Structure 1
Amino acid sequence: MTSLQHCDTAHSTYEWASGRDPRAGCTIRFDKASVGYANGYPVDASTTWTAQWRGTGQPNWEDIGDPNQIEGPAFDLPVAEVQSIATAGR
């Protein structure tokens, strides 16, 4: 399974809490359980950032180098599912 999820600043800085709309944050949807992977789906995460600065008396903003990318440690994410069969009352 290969999936790339991109989140803009508004989504990636949204702090999740119980009762908040999960669609407002950066979320990943899994279509099925991770039973084909011994420890769960392998996940890699990274972020890219840029910065600018302006000193006293400087008329323009200056870029701080090229965009920088930070990669977090890879981890396994177990995903479970429940399947039920509904039948008419007897």
Structure 2
Amino acid sequence: MRITQEALAHDAGTSSSYLSAIENGRSSPTLKAMERLAKALGVNAVYLLSRRISISIVSDDELEIGAILARPAVTLRRHPHKPTGRPSKTK
């Protein structure tokens, strides 16, 4: 899952500085905070506490770059026979 720290904080009803403190071991989340984080991530608190899950905190710029880079692949998959606009290599 890829989400910005700001978006996760907003969805969980907390601050990005609090999430940063949890992430860096400077603070321990309360049970209520864990429940809100789990809900924001679409999992239950037990799952969040008992498993290692992959959450990448990324910047808004990284999300935008990823979306831009994914576009040609999506377009190509939707229209495999449609020209991509790139010049063909002919000899």
The answer to whether TM tops 0.5 is no
Higher strand share: 1
For normalisation by structure 1, the TM-score amounts to 0.24
For normalisation by structure 2, the TM-score amounts to 0.24
Flag the structure with larger Rg: 1
Q: Select the structure with the greater relative contact order (CA < 8 A; seq sep ≥ 6).
A: 2
